[in-house]
Structure 1
Amino acid sequence: MSTSARNTTAPLAYENAPLTRFHIRVTIAGTGGQFSDGFILGIIGIVIAAATKSLGLTPLWVGLLGAATLAGLFFGAVLTGPIADRIGRRQIFAWDMLAFAVLSLAQFFVQTPGQLLVLRLLLGLVLGADYVVSKSLVTEHAPVRFRGRLTSLLAVAWAAGYVFAYLIGFLLTDQGGDSWRFMLATSAVPALLVFGFRLGVPEAPLWLSRHGRDTEAAAVVRRHLGPNVLPPTATPATARRGMRALFSPAHRRRTAVGALFYVCQVIPFFALGTFSPQVMEALGVTSKLGAGALYNVFLLAGAIVGLLIIDKISRRLFLIGTFVVGAALLAALTAFADIGGPVVSVGLFTAFAFVLAAAVNLEFVYPPELFPTDLRASGVGIAVAASRIGSAASTFLLPLVASGYGMDVALGGCVVVLVLGALVCWAWAPETGTESLDDIDTRT
């Protein structure tokens, strides 16, 4: 890895630049929102259980607090996409983690369920915005050969945040009546650490060039990559295209793929992850806490393995293959749990978690590659928003279906969703791993 491209003799196109410390810094800066999202989604169930008496939570408040962040994420992603495409990614990217840290700390002082609900909604809005700008900015700064691995680090950060929430909850649960306040406030720490990395991250040269700001784009490239890397020379957009363009004949198939594959992944991921102890209990596993811990370990391991292979196989193969393998493992879990006993159940369930966590890398890599620069943030926003509808619906419906029809039926529904994801990707998903972002801009 070089600190810059200054020693390169032949001129290099911007997306063919060598991997540098600058690219790593941008990527690390982008991980903050993903870690924070994984943490606050992973911690809320533990917090609700610990704070029920202190805040006097009724079943209605439990449901509202559980869904608040997901609702905020939906609106944050939809609203931020068009704004980031118009004004750029950098300003939102630079400051949203500071806002997140302030809101996280404010949770420590809440006295009523309503106050916590408002803060959870605002946290979701901030994270929805960060999803859009982080994925877009890291993608647009990354060299094409390393784009998948760099954006996959965001997926690993999300999984790490989710696992870290489980560990924090486990350590603090028995530390007194106000332990839940410390659980909530802890998410401010990584946000503040990442905030320092973000202040010096520049706007993506490709976005600058696309908006006719070639001089600024060249200055960014010269400063961070050296004089032998050529700045991008995208043709400036002749007219501003709004979100409506994503549903035009030129883009609607990619918009559909971006949203549908994301939804088909998150429905089983969130449903089974959120209720993993209940799933294990229904399958005859008595050590629910141990099974939940093992599930989380395999989530993190799968995310890391996904990062290692993302640039070694085609995006289409990764998409379709993980849907098929995940469906097969879950179907086997449903069919053979009674025969194989708890050991087989835990083995199949953790293998499923491993495969699906590896596939989650695609949620960070694939959507930004589907859209041209002037629509990228809007397209990612649509995909993220759709995914939050899916995750909210799945966490709401799984316990209802399981209690009314049995866990086997609930698991069977998740198998159907995974098969649907495989079929959608087989029919519509384009291969994007070898495409440069400039090629995507030129074609569309």
Structure 2
Amino acid sequence: MATTEKSVPFEEVTFRRFHLHIGFSGCGGQFADGFELGIIGIAVAIAAGPLQLSALQMGLLGAAALAGLFVGSLITGIVADRIGRRTIFAYDMLFAAAISGAQFFATEPWHLLALRLMLGFVLGADYVVSKSLVTELSPIRFRGRLLSLMAIAWAAGYTVAYVAGFLIRDTGPDAWRYMLAISSAPALCIFLFRMSIPESPLWLIKRGRVEEARQIILKKLGPDVALPKVATEVRKRGGEWAALFSPKWRRRTAVGGIFYVCQVIPYFALGTFLPKIMEALHVTDKYSGSLVYNTFLMLGAIIGMVVIDRLSRRFFLISTFYIGAGLLLLLSVNVLGSTGVIIVFALFALTLSAAANLEFMYPPELFPTHLRATGVGLAVAASRFGSALSTFLLPLVVQTYGVGTALVACVVVMVFGGVVCQAWAPETGHVHLDSIGEAEDDRRDSRSVQCAQNETA
């Protein structure tokens, strides 16, 4: 495939059926991931009697997938940067379906615990490879929207899981088995769509496999698309971890982890115990308030998808941290009436959910191809640790110090995230993936992009 004057750069091609296939494969995986994680809450509540679960065992089963996800994302990031993304992306949903189906046959709490740990490991692998591969195969103009759709798909899967659990709950003493087993269906379906997704040409070229990349681009996009101009990777001693924490990349590594953690702490902590929080703030109908909150979470995800490619990534990231912190601070003074609390919580949900779109696109855009999966894996692992810790601590803080203190703690977390991002976060929205790390100065990364845009205008 010779490069001609009419050749289109790989990341600037028009949106094609191939990209639709990529987006659907990534979104389907996220829907399955959300379903797998969402179904456990209602399933464990019903299984408590038949399996004679203690409170400790119920807590462990609820957190098992998150623990597995933490380990899976850390390990898979390194593996995917060394052996490629495609194999893991193609088969992880098959493993997820098999493990989910095996939950039907669990007869002891430890059986279920082991399966949830394994399932979390597989989901952690999918978080990493899905974000990395979809990012590397998407055109730059549509990358944000495709990755935003993955965020919406995850939220949809999580919500549908509760609906499915609600419908199945009265089918008999084995209802919890059917709930957990049926979670294999979305994973199995999407596995079939993933088999024809190729390896990332960016990763192949980075590893010196230029001809393989050329054939993939020719087959999937046509002869008018030019090969990405990516330098072949020269492997250095110390590996991916040493590179991520080297002077060149450590700020991006810090931003990727810190922004993710500071977003998920209030998201999971407040969302998990929302009825209790609203009750402490004297909301008269805490369940209606929770329904409004969750409705605005879904609405925020959709709005985030619409605006993500119209705003600077950096501006979107920083502003939503400060807006969210301001709304929580207003709640913490506890002077609003019942309706006022619900309105402010709804606005907070809208803001945070819109910003959560960045969790799918910003980490992959921070790192070069040979470090992308490792960097994304580290950010995902940090977020799961933060979400688990905050979910554990929040009810204790509310009980001991009051809801105002818990909300102020979340304010501090969000302000910290905003300050760190304001100091270090680079602009990545208009940066080609094949140019990340090429003769760039991290301290002036965001300014250089803005200046180039101004000069062009």
TM score, norm. by length of structure 1? 0.95
Instruction: State the SS of the aligned residue for 2:15.
Output: coil
Change (3 A) 1:182 1:283: farther
Instruction: State the SS of the aligned residue for 1:229.
Output: coil
Q: 2:117 aligns with which of 121, 133, 136?
A: 121
Tell me, yes or no, if structure 1 residue 40 matches structure 2 residue 36.
yes
Q: 1:297 aligns with which of 288, 295, 298?
A: 295
Deviation of residue 165 (structure 1)? Answer: 2.1
Q: Which residue of 2 aligns with 1:52?
A: 48
| One-letter identity of the residue aligned with 1:284 | H
Cα distance in 2 between the residues matched to 1:279 and 1:42: 21
Cα distance in 1 between the residues matched to 2:104 and 2:399: 35
Cα distance in 2 between the residues matched to 1:278 and 1:31: 32
Change (3 A) 1:176 1:280: farther
Contact 2:208 2:232 (C-alpha < 8 Å) held by counterparts: yes
Cα distance in 1 between the residues matched to 2:346 and 2:51: 35
Q: Which residue of 2 aligns with 1:285?
A: 283
Instruction: State the SS of the aligned residue for 2:302.
Output: helix
Change (3 A) 1:112 1:290: farther
Contact 1:33 1:97 (C-alpha < 8 Å) held by counterparts: yes
Which shows bigger deviation, 42-51 or 81-90?
A: 42-51
| One-letter identity of the residue aligned with 1:31 | C
Change (3 A) 1:292 1:169: farther
Cα distance in 1 between the residues matched to 2:166 and 2:296: 18
Change (3 A) 1:43 1:292: farther
Cα distance in 1 between the residues matched to 2:50 and 2:10: 55
Tell me, yes or no, if structure 1 residue 17 matches structure 2 residue 19.
no
Q: Which residue of 2 aligns with 1:323?
A: 321
Instruction: State the SS of the aligned residue for 1:295.
Output: helix
Any idea what the Cα deviations from partners look like across 1:31-75, whole Å, max 9, x if unmatched?
233223322333322222222111111121122112111110110
Contact 1:214 1:233 (C-alpha < 8 Å) held by counterparts: no
Deviation of residue 438 (structure 1)? Answer: 1.1
Deviation of residue 431 (structure 1)? Answer: 0.4
Q: 2:134 aligns with which of 106, 123, 138?
A: 138
Q: Which residue of 2 aligns with 1:423?
A: 419
Number of positions where the alignment pairs a residue of Structure 1 with one of Structure 2: 435
| One-letter identity of the residue aligned with 1:425 | C
Contact 1:32 1:97 (C-alpha < 8 Å) held by counterparts: no
Q: Which residue of 2 aligns with 1:192?
A: 188
Tell me, yes or no, if structure 1 residue 165 matches structure 2 residue 158.
no
Tell me, yes or no, if structure 1 residue 370 matches structure 2 residue 362.
no
Cα distance in 2 between the residues matched to 1:275 and 1:105: 30
Q: Which residue of 2 aligns with 1:309?
A: 307
Deviation of residue 174 (structure 1)? Answer: 4.0
State the superposition RMSD in angstroms: 1.6
Any idea what the Cα deviations from partners look like across 1:87-138, whole Å, max 9, x if unmatched?
1000000000010011111112211111111011001100111111100000
Q: Which residue of 1 aligns with 2:450?
A: none
| One-letter identity of the residue aligned with 1:256 | A
Q: Which residue of 2 aligns with 1:3?
A: none
Change (3 A) 1:177 1:298: farther
Q: 2:226 aligns with which of 224, 230, 243?
A: 230
Unaligned regions of 5+ residues in structure 1, if any? Answer: 1-7
Change (3 A) 1:401 1:54: same
Cα distance in 2 between the residues matched to 1:397 and 1:40: 24
Q: Which residue of 1 aligns with 2:90?
A: 94
Change (3 A) 1:289 1:166: farther
| One-letter identity of the residue aligned with 1:237 | E
Which shows bigger deviation, 160-169 or 422-431?
A: 160-169
Cα distance in 2 between the residues matched to 1:171 and 1:273: 23
Q: 1:106 aligns with which of 102, 109, 113?
A: 102
Q: Which residue of 2 aligns with 1:4?
A: none
Contact 1:373 1:441 (C-alpha < 8 Å) held by counterparts: no
| One-letter identity of the residue aligned with 1:97 | M
Contact 2:230 2:435 (C-alpha < 8 Å) held by counterparts: no
Q: Which residue of 2 aligns with 1:69?
A: 65
Change (3 A) 1:283 1:183: farther
Q: Which runs of 4+ in 1 moved over 6 A?
A: none
Contact 2:37 2:158 (C-alpha < 8 Å) held by counterparts: yes
Cα distance in 2 between the residues matched to 1:321 and 1:50: 42
Any idea what the Cα deviations from partners look like across 1:355-402, whole Å, max 9, x if unmatched?
111111000000000000000000001100100110010110011111
Identity %: 58
Cα distance in 1 between the residues matched to 2:91 and 2:284: 46
| One-letter identity of the residue aligned with 2:58 | V
Deviation of residue 175 (structure 1)? Answer: 4.0
| One-letter identity of the residue aligned with 1:32 | G
Deviation of residue 157 (structure 1)? Answer: 1.0
Cα distance in 1 between the residues matched to 2:71 and 2:191: 23
Deviation of residue 443 (structure 1)? Answer: 3.7
Cα distance in 2 between the residues matched to 1:33 and 1:403: 38
Q: Which residue of 2 aligns with 1:156?
A: 152
| One-letter identity of the residue aligned with 1:30 | G
Deviation of residue 286 (structure 1)? Answer: 4.3
TM score, norm. by length of structure 2? 0.92
Tell me, yes or no, if structure 1 residue 271 matches structure 2 residue 275.
no
Tell me, yes or no, if structure 1 residue 245 matches structure 2 residue 243.
yes
Contact 1:35 1:160 (C-alpha < 8 Å) held by counterparts: yes
| One-letter identity of the residue aligned with 1:318 | F
Deviation of residue 172 (structure 1)? Answer: 3.1
Cα distance in 2 between the residues matched to 1:177 and 1:145: 51
Deviation of residue 9 (structure 1)? Answer: 8.6
Q: Which residue of 2 aligns with 1:262?
A: 260
Change (3 A) 1:229 1:139: same
